[in-house]
Amino acid sequence: MTEIIGTKDLRMVYGNEDLRVEALRGIDLSIEQGELTSLVGPSGSGKSTLLHLIGAMMTPTSGEINILGQSIQSFNRLQLARVRRENIGFIFQNFALVPHLSALENVMLPLYPINPPNLEERATLLLEKVGLEQRLDHNPSQLSGGERQRVAVARALINDPSLVLGDEITGNLDSTTGKDIFDLIESLNKEGMTILLVTHDMSVADSCRRKISMQDGRLLLD
Amino acid sequence: MNPLFKFALKNLKKTKIRSLLSILAVFLGVLLITTLLVMTDSLVAAVDDSLDLLSGTVVLQQEDAVDPNFSIIDSRVIAELVAANSTGGEIEGTIAAYVPEIWHVEKSEAGIFGFLQVIGVQPSAERNTVGVLAAENFPQGRTLSDDDYNATVIGDSAAQLMNKGIGDTVVVNGQNIEVVGIFSTDSFLDNAMFMHINIVETFSPQYEDQEFISTILIKPVDLAAGGKIKTYVNDVLAAFRDENNDGITEEYDIEASDFEQIAEQGRQFLDITTEYAFYLGLISIVIGSLSVFNSILMGVLERKREIAILKATGWTDYETGLEVFIESLIISIIGGVGGLSLGVGIAGYFTSTSQFLSLVVNPITLVQSFVYAVLLGIFAGLYPAWRAMRIDPVEDLVG
Ligand SMILES: Nc1ncnc2c1ncn2[C@@H]1O[C@H](COP(=O)(O)OP(=O)(O)OP(=O)(O)O)[C@@H](O)[C@H]1O
Ligand SMILES: [Mg+2]
């Protein structure tokens, strides 16, 4: 099996001398292609921090991160942005859509600067895939919470990522809608997508084939 | 349309009023600088045209008179000059003509500030009246001839003001005089009307039999000889004054000047005017660009979260900065093009209402105004773009 993510003794310290927060205290983690993994743990245990490091959004204090065989721990801002653009799809708790753009434009947005051919067609297909073919031109304010999160899922897929990361993606949704979104994620995984979800929702966590828990910046059980 | 550009437009549209206000600020700044620059260009061109017409000519006028209307000189000085010149010497053969003129100001509702400039000339005198009466200056009608004792020719600006055409009659000093020609020289003389000096001499007792006149123009054969002639003529005039000065009247205090000095002073004055106009315009553009700066920076600070999302989805710092920068360019270019067009329009309106100005649109001036608008748009956009570049993808996202 191909390893998508690998970390070695990953540490993250926030703040300065006076106010040190050791958010991660040595994480060794490996996730392989096609896995659907959940990451649970109490608030403040470092789940989001780990997700952001894996998502190439920042660099760790020490340790190694490998994404598809690339060591990214000492990448500069531009290199990290390229890793995000080429390999990562991110879904946020609060949907994080741009309010004055339509659903279709929100899905296209990550690739606006490079404007690849057939961007609009690809975005349309993805919105069809998440069941929003009737909502292409709607703004986020005209969509329900579940529909917004579907748009966010489609946006995470626009760059054809090798890895989709989600932080509390059902956190702002009622349980039925949350279940629908998880079903969508599960179907993506069945098509072969590697997915890592941070969640407080035990039904989501338990439905994942692999479940990792964290406490105080360390992995508890795998 | 490039999607990045389209996105920048949508962001501007979202804060419509703020964007419109900064477009307005740029618009007004560019409007001011364009109007000022085009007006000074037109002024420079008009003055240059007038100077071209006059260059090389030596003018005899009463000492300290502001212009020929305020000058009375003894016409016998012409005979003195002719006599002195025929005795040989370094300027012999360099003078083409001595042209006596009587300048008269007629009160007229149609004239500038209620006055109309009337110039009495000898129509056939060689290179008469600084060349205004040359046949090629007459797009309509004809020039004057020596037996035109009841005819006048008027400049196109004066014709427009008085609403007179060929064949119409104008009343000057109570006399009906027929308009036989309309001339155009693009100089300030286009506001004047010319007629036979024998008509004008009857307007005032002092001009009777042309014993006294307003001015004498000395036309050199070669324009470059103007300076030499001036020196020579001043010597003759000094002797003439010593001979005739009665200590009471000033008709013998005659002074010769040439237009090269006047031209030089005029050009210097215009250079300074242009420079001040430019700085004034620049200040207004800077104010415009501050407004763009403020509006774009506010946009970035308000959209911090959104920009963080863009970065999380893979936008590079450079692409984010570029998008913000494009916003400031859009504002500057829209405001700039608008201000440029209306500025030329306003200058066109001003010059059309002025008698001796005609609109001169120098492409360099337009390019200059536009480049300054864009440059200041660039300066206004740089800092906000840099702020946007510094935003981290996880900003405010830690959940
Ligand atoms: N930018 C930051 N600066 C300083 N401290 C931070 C920062 N981000 C997170 N922390 C701290 O690091 C620790 C881990 O935070 P993290 O957000 O990773 O926790 P989490 O497991 O995602 O919690 P939650 O379930 O509440 O989202 C916390 O103590 C938090 O206060
Ligand atoms: Mg978190």
Per-residue pLDDT band at B130 (split at 50, 70, 90): low
At residue B180, φ and ψ (nearest 5 deg) are -110, -10
Tell me the CA–centroid distance for residue A209 and ligand 1, in Å. 26
Lowest mean pLDDT among A70-74, A147-151, B167-171: B167-171
Residue nearest to atom 8 of ligand 1 (CA): B398
CA dist., res. B217 & res. B229, Å (int): 12
Q: Atom of ligand 1 at shortest distance to CA of A51?
A: 18
Judged against a pLDDT cut of 80, whether residue B251 lies above it is answered with: no
**What residue in B sits closest to A43 (Cα-Cα)?**
B399
Alpha-carbon distance of A178 to A169, in angstroms, equals: 8
Residue B127 above 60 pLDDT?
no
Q: Does residue A3 surpass a pLDDT of 70? A: yes
Distance A23 CA to ligand 1 centre (A): 7
The answer on B391 and B356 residing in a single domain is yes
Residue B369 pLDDT exceeds 90 = no
Nearest CA to B14 among B303, B290, B301?
B303
Clarify whether residues B151 and B101 are in a common domain: yes
For residue B256, the surrounding DSSP H or E stretch is strand B254-258
Question: What residue ranges line ligand 1, CB within 6 angstroms?
Answer: A 14-15, 21, 23, 41, 43-49; B 398-399
Q: Which residues of A touch B318 (CB under 8 A)?
A: 78
pLDDT at B329: 93
Q: How confident is the model at residue B110 (pLDDT cuts 50, 70, 90)?
A: low
B314/A81 CB distance under 8 A: yes
Predicted confidence band at B331 (pLDDT cuts at 50, 70, 90)? very high
CB of B285 closer than 8 Å to CB of B372: yes
Q: Do B10 and A101 touch (CB under 8 A)?
A: yes
Q: Which of A97-101, A210-214, B168-172, B383-387 has the lowest mean pLDDT?
A: B168-172
The candidate with the shortest Cα–Cα distance to B226, out of B96, B136, B331, B343, is B96
Amino acid B206: pLDDT? 84
pLDDT mean across residues, chain B = 84
| Residue B195 domain-assigned (yes or no) | yes
Torsion of CA A126, A127, A128, A130, to 10 degrees: 90
Could you tell me the two tokens for A19? Answer: 């106010």
Q: Nearest C-alpha to atom 7 of ligand 1 is from which residue?
A: A14
Pick from B202, B228, B252: which residue ends a domain?
B252
Q: What is the predicted pLDDT for the residue at A155?
A: 96
B397 pLDDT exceeds 60? no
Q: Which residues in chain B have Cβ-Cβ distances shorter than 8 Å to A94? A: 399
Enclosing H/E stretch for A51: helix A47-54
Q: Does pLDDT of B120 surpass 70?
A: yes
Partnered with residue A62 across adjacent β-strands are: A11
Query: Would B199 be classed as within a structural domain?
Result: yes
Same domain, B309 and B356: yes
Residue B205 confidence (pLDDT) above 50: yes
| Partners of B385 in the β-ladder | none
Span B94-98, average pLDDT: 79
Distance separating alpha carbons of residues B41 and B130, to the nearest angstrom: 24
Instruction: Verify that B172 and B204 share a domain, yes or no.
Output: yes
Q: CB of B327 within 8 Å of any CB in chain A?
A: no
Looking at the partner chain, which of A110, A113, A167 has a beta carbon nearest the beta carbon of B4? A113
| pLDDT for position B398 | 43
What pLDDT was estimated at residue B247? Answer: 66
Q: Using 50, 70 and 90 to split pLDDT, how confident is the model at B37?
A: confident
Residue B125 confidence class, pLDDT cut points 50, 70, 90: low
Residue B203 Cα to ligand 2 midpoint, Å, equals 101
Rg (CA), chain B: 31
pLDDT 10s digits, B182-203: 998 877 788 889 999 999 999 8
Beta bridge partners of B94: none
Same domain, B243 and B283: no
Say if residue B97 is in the same domain as residue B245. Answer: yes
Determine the residue of chain A that is closest to B13 in CA distance.
Answer: A100
For chain A, percent of residues with pLDDT exceeding 90: 89
pTM for the full model? 0.75
Q: Which of B187, B221, B252 is the last residue of a domain?
A: B252
| Residue scoring higher pLDDT (A98 or B86) | A98
What three-state secondary structure class fits A159?
coil
B80 in helix, strand or coil? helix
Q: Per the domain annotation, does B174 fall within a domain?
A: yes
> How many angstroms separate the CA of residue B399 from the nearest CA in chain A?
7
The alpha carbon of residue B271 is apart from the nearest alpha carbon of chain A, in Å, by 47
**For testing contact with chain A, the best of B309, B323, B324, B391 (most A CBs within 10 A):** B309
Number of domains in chain B: 2
Lowest mean pLDDT among A82-86, A115-119, B168-172: B168-172
Which one is predicted more confidently, B284 or B86? B284
Q: Is residue B336 part of a domain?
A: yes
Do residue B157 and residue B246 come from a single domain?
Answer: yes
**Mean pLDDT, residues B34-62:** 80
B258 in a domain, yes or no?
no
Residues B238 and B320 in one domain: no
pLDDT at position B279 over 60? yes
Q: What is the mean pLDDT of residues A116-135?
A: 94
Of B29-38, B105-114, B290-299, B343-352, the range with the highest mean pLDDT is B290-299
Is residue B243 domain-shared with residue B277, that is, in the same domain? no
B313 touches chain A (CB under 8 A): yes
Shared domain check, B274 and B248: no
Rg of chain A over CA atoms, in angstroms? 17
Cβ distance A41 to A104 under 8 Å? no
Determine how β-strand B95-112 pairs with β-strand B215-220. Answer: antiparallel
Residue B257 resides in a domain: no
Phi, psi dihedral angles at A12 (to 5 degrees): -140, 125
Q: Which of B82-96, B208-222, B280-294, B329-343 ranks highest by mean pLDDT?
A: B329-343
pLDDT of residue B234: 83
- Cβ proximity of B259 and B55 under 8 Å: yes
Last residue of a domain, one of B230, B252, B274: B252
Contact A100/B392, CB-based, under 8 Å? Answer: no
On chain A, the residues whose CB falls within 8 A of the CB of B305 are 96
- Number of CB atoms found within 10 A of residue A192's CB: 8
pLDDT in tens, A18-51: 888 999 999 999 999 999 999 999 999 999 999 9
Answer whether residue B59 is part of any domain. no
Q: What is the ipTM of this complex?
A: 0.93
Give dist(CA A162, CA A66) in Å, integer: 13
Within-domain flag for B55: no
pLDDT tens-digit map of A177-220: 999 999 999 999 999 999 999 999 998 999 999 999 999 999 98
For residue A176, the distance in angstroms to the closest alpha carbon of chain B comes to 22
On whether both B10 and B152 belong to a single domain, the answer is no
Confidence class for position B113, pLDDT limits 50, 70, 90:
low
The pLDDT score that the predictor gives to residue B399 is 37
Do residue B102 and residue B241 come from a single domain? yes
Domain span at residue B149 reads 64-252
Q: pLDDT band for position B248 (50/70/90)? A: low
